[in-house]
Structure 1
Amino acid sequence: MAEQGPTARQRKLAALLKRYRDEAGFIQEDAAELIGIERTKLVRIEGGRRIPTVADVEKILDAYGPADETTRRGIIRLTEQVRQRGWWAPFTDVLAGSYAELEHAADRIRMFQVQLVPGLLQTEDYARLLIAKHFPDLPEEEIDRRVQVRMTRQAMLKRKNPPRLEFILTEEVLRRPVGGRDMMRDQLGHLLAASTRPHVSVRIIPIDRGHYASIGGGNLVLFEFNSVVDLNVAYLETIVGGRYEENASQVRACSLIYDRLAESALPEDESAALIGTIMKET
């Protein structure tokens, strides 16, 4: 499972405040003295281990020098939002770390999946089977609860202003008969229908491509934002769990990998045709 810890908003705020201190040329000791707080408090704020008040952030911004008014308002608004709870708050045992919050807030999500259909595009039956197999000792009511959480996440596809969703899947995902032929046929039909939404792109890397970028690696998700106060985040999934990458250079490297994966993927129309062909064969 992914790490627990600060929310996506708190991570973002902490990273922004650290970046502004670095750009102002202050070390933490000097910055804390200028702001009028203990250095340990500043360390915890910048580390995402303490939520600052609006007054704290205003003092910090004043100490580091004038920021343009749009950026300042954005940071203050972000500070206010840190303490707000989203629909996912009661389900922290199911949705590890900041994943659901990032998913909800992003302007664009780019995802590469190696083995399974992504959760946002799964049918209820497909999702239920995966959850039941992954957690064989869970009672039926808890499986129902986890399935409902996954279906609730999918509501973002029907939002008035949904994010741009771009998926790259390997052909193996389509040919893996999860739950048998009937269930997989329904899942492929659902995937094909989702790909017709104007804000959704589904592209397939065919088996006959042979080698492709990052072959042998795990899944990759990029959460991307338009706002100047939002920081892009990469989520990397491996067999031992997932981790968030927020370092700007590492996120850019992940974005470059995704771009290289896209070079191996079929165009959207050819991908849809391949999904349809496999659905008929299933």
Structure 2
Amino acid sequence: MPDWFRQHLDLEADAAEIRWYQSEVIPGILQTEPYIRAIIDREDVEQQVEVRLERQKAIDRPDGPELNFILSESALRRNLGDRLTMREHLSHIAAIANRLNITIQVVPLDAETYVVSSFNFIILRLGEEVASDVVYLETFTDADYLDSPEAVRAYNRHWNRLRGAALWPAESRRLILRIADEMK
């Protein structure tokens, strides 16, 4: 596991709140094992499965972080694996969306908005002050960690605009279930 990702895991474990925007695939912390196996085509697939499933334990920790996700509808519709894998995966996400510490919102494909984002980002809130936020940006071979107040404010503003363009959580859950039903 690269050092740049180990740093992210440490920050994720210490975070009080995680805000995660993902445009093309479902975030690793929400992925089912069959979905993980469908999207990873590398020698270290077993290690990747183990790491992602271990990270998901944060969802169940009583002292775990507040998790907020904004997903594009295209991430839900991108058929990775077979239809059964996708249907089970989407049903899993809809079930997780009922948890008190998790909010999942979807930006629908037909949203009438100027707010779009072709890049993924994660805002990790490490304390109660915005000054403690770190923005995580991952590339194919590396990652950037932004903690300057200007960068954090810019990403928080972008997050809020995306939230405004997204469906409310209950509407998002219904959309997720409808897409899962279409996979039958």
Same fold (TM over 0.5): yes
Q: Equivalents in 2 of 1:97, 1:158: separation in Å?
A: 21
**What is the aligned counterpart of 2:167 among 266, 277, 281?**
266
Question: Cα deviations across residues 174-225 of structure 1 (Å, max 9, x unaligned)?
Answer: 111110101000100110011011000000000001544243x310100013
Q: Following TM superposition, where does structure 1 have runs of at least 4 consecutive aligned residues deviating by more than 4 angstroms?
A: 238-241
> In 2, distance between residues paired with 1:218 and 1:238?
10
Q: Is 2:143 the partner of 1:143?
A: no
Partner Cα distance (1:233, 1:187) in 2: 29
Of 100, 117, 120, which residue of structure 1 is paired with 2:9? Answer: 100
Matches within 5 A, 1:45-194: 92-93=1-2, 96-131=5-40, 133=41, 135=42, 138=43, 142-194=44-96
- Distance in 1 (CA, whole Å) between partners of 2:4 and 2:96 is 23
Provide the identity percentage: 34
User: Secondary structure of the residue that 1:148 maps to in structure 2?
Assistant: helix
In structure 2, the residue corresponding to 1:96 is in which secondary structure?
helix
Give the 5 Å matches for 1:209-220.
209-215=111-117, 217-220=118-121
Do the aligned partners of 2:11 and 2:126 also contact (CA within 8 Å) in 1? no
The number of equivalent residue pairs is 183
Candidates 222, 246, 249, aligned match of 2:147: 246
Contact 1:220–1:235 (8 Å) recurs in 2:
yes
* SS of residue in 1 equivalent to 2:110: helix
SS of corresponding position for 2:5: coil
**Which is richer in helix?**
1
In structure 1, list runs of 5 or more residues that go unmatched: 1-91
RMSD: 2.0
Q: Are 1:234 and 2:135 counterparts?
A: yes
Per-residue CA deviations over 1:17-61 (Å, capped at 9, x if unaligned) read xxxxxxxxxxxxxxxxxxxxxxxxxxxxxxxxxxxxxxxxxxxxx
Cα distance in 2 for residues equivalent to 1:249 and 1:201: 26
Q: Is the partner of 1:144 in helix, strand or coil?
A: helix
Which entry has the higher C-alpha Rg, 1 or 2?
1
Matches of 2:80 and 2:15, distance apart in 1: 30
Higher relative contact order (CA 8 A, sep 6+): 2
**What is the CA-CA distance between 1:236 and the residue it aligns to?**
1.9
Q: Which has the higher strand share?
A: 2
CA apart distance, 1:98? 1.1
**In 1, distance between residues paired with 2:3 and 2:88?**
26
Q: Do the aligned residues in 2 keep the contact of 1:218 with 1:237 (CA within 8 Å)? A: no
AA in 2 matched with 1:155: K
Q: 1:267 to 1:227 in 2, by over 3 A?
A: closer
User: Cα offset for 1:95?
Assistant: 6.6
SS of corresponding position for 1:116: coil
- Equivalents in 2 of 1:176, 1:209: separation in Å? 18
The SS at the match of 2:56 is helix
Cα separation, 2, equivalents of 1:205 and 1:212 = 12
